[in-house]
Amino acid sequence: MPGSEQRPLEILQERMGENVQIKPGHLGKASIQAKPELIRQIMQTILQGEPSAAISAITGLDLGDNIGIMYHTRLREALITVIVEVAKTKPIIQSITDLIPGANFHERELTDLFGVTVEGHPNPGRLVLPEDWPIDLYPLRKDAKLDNIPKSPPPQEKNASEEPETDGKLVNIIIGPQHPALLEPEKFSVKVDGEIVRKVEPRIGYVHRGVEKAAEQRTYLQDVYLIERICGICNSCHATCFVEAVEKILGTEVPSRGKYLRTIILELNRLHSHLLLLGHAGLEIGYETLFQYMWRDREPIMDLTEMLTGNRVVSSSIAVGGVRRDIKDTDIERIKAELAKLAKKMPFYQNLFDNEPTLKMRTRGVGKLSREDATKLCVVGPVARASGVKFDIRKDEPYEAYGEIPFKLITREEGDTYARLMVRLAEVTESINIITYALDHLPTGPYRTRVPRTVPKGEAVNRVEAPRGELLHYVRGNGTAFPERVKVRTPTFANIPAFLKTAIGGSIADVPANFVSLDPCFSCTDR
């Protein structure tokens, strides 16, 4: 295994010998099978070989008598998966959050959904399940009975006449779960000392829809439609990530024209998402004119998506084996013309963000995230790249046509709200260039290949670069038309810990601008 991913695996094999089994496969560059009591030692060894190693996701599996736990671990240019099993009767694993702080949410989710006790976790409370969920009911276990779920007594509520919660000098300000800034209900308890934020406690899961459980009860074809509805903004990214994992299990090669068409659709998705976020950032900062301008320029992108796929928001264009429809020759020139118009407006927006006093004051130096913290917290996408982390799946692990299309990897070093917005603004230009190149070099031939409805036994993990960053799907087939397990780790799930870090020490007035610069999507998070 040449390249940067070789050294950590070599060190692991040398130090642990027969205690680990390393083999290549569809779980990244390699999968590592080991005993559960060795998980901390394995992670420490990997970090010694590559200090920037991060956790992309932790996947739980119901294996009958045992619970399987997969640690999808990101190295510089590769993904490896560490696999352990614990007895279902007493599922206990040691926490690695002190080694890799970004594992925090993943371990808590594992406890919620599979009942695995994570010893040593700094905050083992509920994350995605409601407080009145039955204590011994773990929804992603195969034997979970989810009909007529009994409710545990809810936590005692405070009387409305009571004083606001305080902790010494600290006052607890509750943001959410319903508030005007976000349509999706999520709650953040922000403890402040005067105007300064001292602590932030998140509570997600208010609209958790159980998509992973629902996917087990539907066919692969039905799951494509289900999965892409995790999020209306990055729907094509979810569909692509899922079908690519299925194609790995099938051994299917998508025709070149299908790959290019997928790439065009994915970059239209990115344009839609980035323009929406940049406009929404203006709204949060109090600059409504910017919001109106950005959303005005987003409209033609939505029109192009509808023209190309038949649908304006949820495109339903990605299929196992390719795409559902071809592009018309008459559509190519219209797409290029609309993108050229958008490209001409980019210098105006760049000048606005660089020189408009309100934007400068509300974004520069706000919510700074160092490169070291970005690495430790395992953040992804523009949030990571704005802190100098050169990580983009399109470059590191090219999929579809990205390996054949030249484009720039956009990074900045400031690590603040301004940098996170500027990375997205620059990526708008790169997306325009990618789509234009793909249209100019569109291969001839079929855009889709036929695939069987039944997927053989096997498993695969797949990653794509969604607008918000690394999106990961794990799919396990059992030889039928229904998947055994579907796991989804969304970018916002990985990026929320960054806000918990960057808000500390800042002003409460800077919370909206800081938070929106993460481009949070709770529809994705509460999948």
**Confidence (pLDDT) at 341:** 94
Edge-first strand listing for the sheet containing 469-477: 458-466, 469-477, 483-489
Q: How far apart are the first and last CA of the chain?
A: 35
Residue 428 domain-assigned?
A: yes
Rounded Cα distance between 50 and 10, Å, is 11
**Confidence (pLDDT) at 512:** 80
222 and 96 share one domain: no
435 and 317 share one domain: yes
The segments of the chain whose pLDDT lies below 50 read 1-6, 157-164
**163: CB partners within 8 A, 6+ apart:** none
Strands 170-175 and 66-74: what pairing?
unpaired
Residue 131 domain-assigned?
A: no
**Confidence (pLDDT) at 473:** 92
Rounded Cα distance between 107 and 122, Å, is 11
220 and 114 share one domain: no
94 and 235 share one domain: no
Look at residues 99, 119, 139 and tell me which one is the last residue of a structural domain. Answer: 119
**Confidence (pLDDT) at 409:** 93
CA angle 147, 148, 154 (to 5 degrees): 125
Tell me, what CATH number does 250's domain have? Answer: 1.10.645.10
Q: Would you say 230 and 211 are in contact if contact means Cβ atoms under 8 Å apart?
A: yes
Rounded Cα distance between 478 and 456, Å, is 6
**Confidence (pLDDT) at 153:** 61
Q: Would you say 448 and 324 are in contact if contact means Cβ atoms under 8 Å apart?
A: yes
Rounded Cα distance between 272 and 339, Å, is 12
Look at residues 119, 140, 161 and tell me which one is the last residue of a structural domain. Answer: 119
Tell me, what CATH number does 45's domain have? Answer: 3.30.460.80
Rounded Cα distance between 191 and 174, Å, is 9
pTM, to two decimals? 0.89
102 and 215 share one domain: no
- Give the pair of three-digit tokens for residue 236: 């094509």
Residue 88 domain-assigned?
A: yes
Structure-token match 């130090």, residue found: 15
**Confidence (pLDDT) at 453:** 81
**Confidence (pLDDT) at 17:** 67
Residue 395 domain-assigned?
A: yes
Q: How many domains does the chain have?
A: 2
Structure-token match 């940049």, residue found: 278
Structure-token match 């229904």, residue found: 482
Residue 202 domain-assigned?
A: no
The beta-strand segments (E) located in 278-419 are 318-319, 322-323
Residue 344 domain-assigned?
A: yes
3-state secondary structure of 309: helix
- Give the pair of three-digit tokens for residue 444: 């001839």
Look at residues 75, 93, 119 and tell me which one is the last residue of a structural domain. Answer: 119
Residue 360 domain-assigned?
A: yes
Residue 411 domain-assigned?
A: yes
Q: For residue 29, is it left (φ>0), alpha (ψ between -120 and 50) or beta?
A: alpha
Domain that holds residue 76: 6-119
